[in-house]
Each structure stands twice: as C-alpha cells, then as structure tokens.
Structure 1
Amino acid sequence: MIKLLVAGEVYPKRQHIFPLLKPFEKSGAFTDAQRMSLYNISENDVHFVEVMQDADFVLLPMSWNFYRSENKMATAKQILAQANTANKKVLSFMVGDFGIDIPDFENVIVFRHSGNRAWLPETHVGMPAFVEDPMQKIFKTEGYFNRAHNQTPVVGFCGQANASMLNAAKELLHTAARNVRSKLGMSRGQAQQLLSTSYLRAAILRTLEKTSIVTTNFIYRKQYRAGATTPEMRAKTTREFYENMRDSDYVVCVRGAGNFSVRFYETLAMGRIPVFVNTDCLLPLAETIPWKKQVVWVDYKDRNRVGEKVAAFHESLSAQQFEDLLAENRALWKEKLTLGGFFQSVLSSESNRK
C-alpha cells in the first residue's frame, strides 16, 4: 500500500488535479469496483495520511501549470521546502502538449507526457496518456483480438495527416515564434523541436505506401475525428478508429503537437504493436520496460527506412513469438500503463531505491 500526504489545497479544476488523486475525487456514489474498472486502482492500494513523517511520498495536488498560471508558485515551493526538511520525495506533474519552465528541484519527481528526454533533467519522468480500455468500451470484452503471423505485415493508421508544404511552413514558423518568445522570457512555455508534425506523419505514411514489403491499412481523415459533431458520429468514428487497429498487426504512432503519442497507448491497449517513431520522446518506465522489444523502434533519422524496419521486425518473429507479443503488449498496458498500474509500478520502484 502506498502512503501519501496530499500537501495543499485541491482546487476544483479537474484537468489540473494530480492523476493519482482523480480516482478518489469522486462523488459518494462512485464505488471501489467502478474505481478498479476505470482506473485499475483500489482504495486498498492507497492510504492518505495526515502527517508528513508517516508518508512514503508527498503529493503536490495541482499541476505546475496551475501553480504558475494562478500565481501560486510560492505555495508550491513552500510545500517542497517542508518535504525536503522531512526528507520526503514530492510527486508533481505537468499537463498539456508543452511543458513549462520550472526550477530544477532535487527532491521532486515531475511526471509529464511530453518533452525531449535530452533536454530535461532526470527528475522529469515520462507518464502514459491514460486511456479508457477500448476492448471493454468498444468491443465489450476483457480479452483482445489475436492475429495470425502472415508473411507480409499489415500496418494500420486512422487519423489526420497533412502533406501540404504550405501547412508545414506555417507550423514551422509558429513553432519558431513560440521558441523565440520562450527564449526571451516572454512565454512560460518551453522551447520545442522545430518540426512540422503533421507533415512528418504524412511522410511516414507515404513511405510505407510506396513499399511492397508491408501491406498498408490506412484511413485518412481531413479533420480531427473526421469532423464528428454529434455523439452518434463520434461513436461511429471512434469505432472505425479501433476497428482499424483490430484489423492491423502494427500501428503507426508518431508524435502530435506535443512530443508524445496517445495512439501509442491505445495501440498497446488493443494488443497491437506500435510502429514508434522516436523524436526523443519521454517514455514511461524506460528503465524497466524493454521498449525496443515491445515495439518497432524507428529513430527519427531512420524515418525513411520505416518499411524496412517493420518488415525486419516482423520477419524476426516466429508465428508463436508474434502472437505472444500481442498478448504481452495488452498485458503490459493493463498492468503498467493504466493509471493504477503505472503509479504502483513507478512508486514501488522509487520506494526500493530508498
């Protein structure tokens, strides 16, 4: 059981509440069975204490973005100082596609989805995008769909991709301007890679379509969620999205505006193999999960060889190894990349270091 001290006020801004608190910030009608089903964590897994010395960790309840935008950084720093005096590590996090600049605190872990690993201190830790179980939500089952190991791998993708050079130029100018504002101290946001992510995604897909060593299963959308505006349309396009994954062996996962991919975690949840284009991403549990074994790892410099990478990975697997990997990825998501699974894994690891 993890013992946590929530240090400070929890404000009614759910987006900014520390993820591990959210399962416990529910109405009285929310049962522990529902908590387990939705978040994979139980009230028996976490004990909230009142005294700092009794805690395994001190939890900063709101995001760094919140403390910065609400001019409450002094409050956060005071909590950190108290924890440091008590020799307690503090858990904190950032929200959004882009990080914000904060001081480098030695006794603080900063969980975040996005960021460039090479640019960040080791205290900044990758956090999954927590997604609802698509097998339960869409397909009404606890299992996953197995696939046979065919000679030619099927690579799927359903979403937006824009090969327009004009759009790419606009993205680059926008990012460059944001980086200048960041460097001059005119923005709280951190500088980002100078990269057109929509063009990168389109280029990856185009490279795969040109090769004969993989079979592509792509659905192109001109708008996010195909422009769905009603619950019925959103349900239809969401089902099509996951059916595309179901009918593929591998799924292209390229960063979006932020340097991370939600699709990466959705793919694992479906028991499929991500084709992960690494743009110096901040992956969760990088010290314990052998990511290069679980996914087709394509470094950004090798993006033009993505077809070769997929084909070589697929050829290296026997039929049984391929089927085992699908099962492993589904289990990996459930056990370590759901909200409860992730925090119990990472905090158990941190506790063992003490």
Structure 2
Amino acid sequence: MVKIYTEHLFLTEDNRRIIFPLLFDMVYLPNNGTRSNFIFVDSLSEADVAIFPVDIVSFLKKDKSNFFHNWIAKMSQNKVPIWIYTAGDFGFTFKNENVLTFRMGGFNSKLPTNTSIMPSFVNDPYNKILKDDFFVLPKKKRPSIGFVGNANGSLFKFIKEFILYLKRVIINLGYRYPEDYHPFYPAGRKRYKLLYKLQKDKRIQSDFIFRDKYRARNENKEKTTLEFFKNIQDNLYTFCLRGNGNFSVRFYEALIMGRIPVLINTDVRLPLEDLIDWNKHCVIVLEDSIIQDLLNFHSSKTEFELEEIQTNNRKLVLERLNRVDYFVQISNKYLESK
C-alpha cells in the first residue's frame, strides 16, 4: 500500500480537469485498484510520496505567493519523494533531483532522467463506440495501414499552423514560468506528405481519410468518431505521428484496439521504456525510411506472430497503461527502496 500525502484543499470539483491523474481515480472515481494500492495520509512522516495535486502549468500561471515552490521546499526538507504533473502539449521541466515529473511528451534527448512519460489514458472504443468485440486480423501479402485525421499539404494550412504556433509562443513568454520551448512542427503538412508517399507505393495497402480539422472539432462528431475507430479496426497497422506536442494519442488508441502503431520517431520517449520492450508492440520508423521499415517488419513476422502482437497490444493497455496500473508500476519502480 503506497501512502500518499497531498494538499486536499485543491481536490475540488473546479479542479477536476487539472487534477493529478492518479488522484483523479482516488477522489472522483475510486475503484478497487486505487483502494488496494494507494491510501491518503495526513502526516509527512508516514508518507511514501508527496503528490502536488494539480497540473503545475496551470497552477504556476496563477501562483503569486510562491506556494508551489514553498511546498516543494517543505517536502524536500522532510525527505519525502515528490511527484508533480505537467499537462499540455509542451509540458514544463522542473529541475529538482527529489522531484519526479509526469508529462505527456517532450524530446527524449532533452528530457532529464527524473521525467516519466505518461500514456494517454484512452477509453476502450469497444465499450461504447464500436458494436464488435475485439478480434485479430490475419496477415495479408501487403501490409494494410490506416489513417483518419488532420492531414493537409496546402500552403494556407502551413501558414495557419505557423501563426497559431507564434501566438502560443508569444503568450507563453508572458508567463513567469513558461512551458518548455518547442520548435515549430507543421504536423498537418508532415502527415500529408508521408501519407501521400505511402499511398503511392503499390506494395502497401493504404486506407486514408484526409481531414482539414481534428475530428473533435467536426460538427458530426459521432459519425466521424465511429469512422476514425473503424479505420483502426479494419487495418493491421495505424499511421501515428506527433501533433503540436511531441506525442501521439492515436498511438495508444491503436494499441487498445489491438492493432499495430507505425510510429514516426521524432525523438520521442515512450512510457515505462525500461519495463516495456516497445519494439514488440509497434513499428518505430524514421521519416526517410518509413516504407522500407514497414515492409521489413511485415515480411519478418509470421501470421501467428502478428496475431500475438495484436492480442498483446490490447492487453498492454488494459492491464498496464491504464491510470491505476501505470502508477502501481511507477510506485514499484521508484519507491521500492524506501
């Protein structure tokens, strides 16, 4: 049982959307997993870990009294390991050896060792969106790869993305504690060029639907959401490339559906890399060699191996990359010596 110290005054309904992910399950959605593995304590002397209760990116924008830094100092003086959560596409690097930072993405070569990448905690599409139960796809001669989403190669779209990026950078500079700097990445245009390259190759069976907007912004959300997940379901492989931040939510959606992500490596760090052999669950490729990398992977696997990967990918998310079990593994890794 991991004993958690936190500031309960911030565990309010108003903060529901920015709460530390593990605390969300302990406070708003308590379940057997949290009850059997985690417990709140009021004393620092009893605590195994101190968790700052809300996203620090949001908190620091409003912190006029240095509450956060004073809290960190207090926890450090009591020699309690500290966990913090930095939300958003860009994230925030907090330099303190006693602090473990959780974030969605960032650049692997630049992130400190005391940074833990969280998976996107996606819901199971088989529960409410799709009418089918999970099934595996057989191996075909040509690898089938799917994609539905924002992919636009026009100059207008490029300029629009750049203007939005500049606006965000300028706003960020006005904050006392700005988010990490990320260079401009024209995700929509990059996707379009790579998908078009795949589409032209006759050795690959492509199944792409190009959109000018993300599906969440589409007026007919129910229809486009079903279309999105049916596309993943119908294809053995799913094309995955980062968005504004250096991570892909689609990557985890493909995994939970029991399909194989084809992840473009943009200096990403994946969750639990020292505990999970990601090469057994996905195809990690470079932009310049995406076609050959995919063909080599597909030809190197038997039908049984590809079916096994599909089953293991769904199992990986359901049993290890959900909110509770992810933090159980983190606790075992970082707190076992305490």
TM-score (normalizing by structure 2) = 0.91
Residue 323 (structure 1) shift: 0.5
Q: Deviations over 1:277-329 (max 9, x none)?
A: 11112311111111122111013xxx132121111111111111110000111
| 2:180 pairs with 1:200 | no
257 and 43 in structure 1: CA distance in 2 versus 1, 3 angstrom threshold? same
Residue 236 (structure 1) shift: 1.9
Query: Please, which of 37, 45, 50 is the counterpart of residue 42 of structure 2?
Result: 50
In structure 2, the partner of 1:111 is 102
Q: Tell me if the contact between 2:134 and 2:258 (Cα under 8 Å) persists in the aligned partners.
A: yes
341 and 210 in structure 1: CA distance in 2 versus 1, 3 angstrom threshold? same
226 and 95 in structure 1: CA distance in 2 versus 1, 3 angstrom threshold? closer
Q: Tell me if the contact between 1:178 and 1:191 (Cα under 8 Å) persists in the aligned partners.
A: no
Query: Please, which of 322, 326, 333 is the counterpart of residue 349 of structure 1?
Result: 333
Residue 55 (structure 1) shift: 1.6
| 2:324 pairs with 1:340 | yes
Query: Please, which of 133, 139, 147 is the counterpart of residue 124 of structure 2?
Result: 133
Identity of aligned residues (%): 32
Matching of residues 65-84 of structure 1 within 5 Å = 65-71=57-63, 74-84=66-76
| 2:6 pairs with 1:15 | no
Matched residue type, 1:162: N
Query: Please, which of 145, 148, 162 is the counterpart of residue 152 of structure 2?
Result: 162
Which runs of 5 or more structure 1 residues have no equivalent in the other structure? Answer: none
In structure 2, the partner of 1:2 is 2
In structure 1, the partner of 2:113 is 122
181 and 135 in structure 1: CA distance in 2 versus 1, 3 angstrom threshold? closer
| Aligned length, in residue pairs | 336
In 2, the alpha carbon distance for the partners of 1:226 and 1:6 equals 34
Residue 137 (structure 1) shift: 2.2
Q: Tell me if the contact between 2:61 and 2:177 (Cα under 8 Å) persists in the aligned partners.
A: no
SS at match of 1:337: coil
Matched residue type, 1:259: N
In structure 1, the partner of 2:306 is 322
Matching of residues 1-354 of structure 1 within 5 Å = 1-7=1-7, 9-10=9-10, 11=12, 12-26=14-28, 35=31, 41-71=33-63, 74-100=66-92, 103-139=94-130, 144-172=134-162, 175=165, 188-225=178-215, 228-229=218-219, 233-299=220-286, 303-354=287-338
Residue 173 (structure 1) shift: 5.8
TM-score (normalizing by structure 1) = 0.87
328 and 68 in structure 1: CA distance in 2 versus 1, 3 angstrom threshold? same
SS at match of 1:52: coil
In 1, the alpha carbon distance for the partners of 2:117 and 2:15 equals 23
SS at match of 2:66: helix
Supply the RMSD in Å over aligned alpha carbons. 2.3
Which runs of 5 or more structure 2 residues have no equivalent in the other structure? Answer: none
